[in-house]
Amino acid sequence: MSTMTPTRARWWIGRLALAGVGGLLLLQLVPYGRDHANPRATASPRWDAPRTRELFAQACGDCHSDLTKWRWYSNVAPASWLVQHDVEEGRAAFDVSRWDQAQPSLDEVLEKLRSGEMPPLKYRIVHPGARLSDGEKAALADGLRRTYARRPPAAIRGEG
């Protein structure tokens, strides 16, 4: 059994690093994840208060509205793929920029917030502002209740 010399180890580490950088550069050729369109809103909720709109934008707006802030890493694959997928999935599930279209029920939205499913952990890790305190979560939930009561979306998914 032979041991690797320090010179040989550095050679292998250098080659692996070069291959890794080359692989990342090749990933940049994949076009998915760079379509950073923020379509024009068709209808927005009549928020009950500026604080509700602010809390929603802070914790939910990047994925659940057409006001996504596309940060630098959303242009670098493979992170760009994850961001694009999350935004597309988030807008399909609940989009306050499409209040004139079917949206989930208030109960469904509040359950996602209450359970901690939303905002997801991977988002909270990168966006400290999305880490709402218990008081902020309660304020957002109360504001969403009043917003849905004031002017509900055009339709609730799953209802007639």
What does the pLDDT look like over 96-106, one tens digit per residue? Answer: 999 999 999 99
Higher local confidence (pLDDT), 112 or 157: 112
| Largest separation between any pair of C-alpha atoms in the chain | 76
Q: Which helix (H) or strand (E) holds 56?
A: helix 50-59
Q: What is the mean pLDDT of the chain?
A: 90
Chain-centre distance for alpha carbon 25? 25
Distances from the Cα of 96 to the Cαs of 8, 36, 56, 84, 100, in angstroms? 57, 18, 10, 18, 9
Distance CA 70, CA 83 (A): 9
Residue 116 has pLDDT above 80, yes or no: yes
Instruction: Decide: 74 and 80 in contact? Cβ < 8 Å.
Output: yes
Domain parsing of the chain, residue ranges = 1-31, 50-156
Mean pLDDT of 69-84: 89
- Contacts for 69 with CB less than 8 Å, ≥ 6 apart: 62
User: By the 8 A CB rule, do 84 and 32 touch?
Assistant: yes
pLDDT at 23: 67
State mean pLDDT over 64-87: 91
Is pLDDT of 160 > 90?
A: no
pLDDT tens sequence across 48-75: 999 999 999 999 999 999 999 999 998 8
CA 78/CA 19 separation, integer angstroms = 16
What is the percent of the chain where pLDDT is above 70? 91
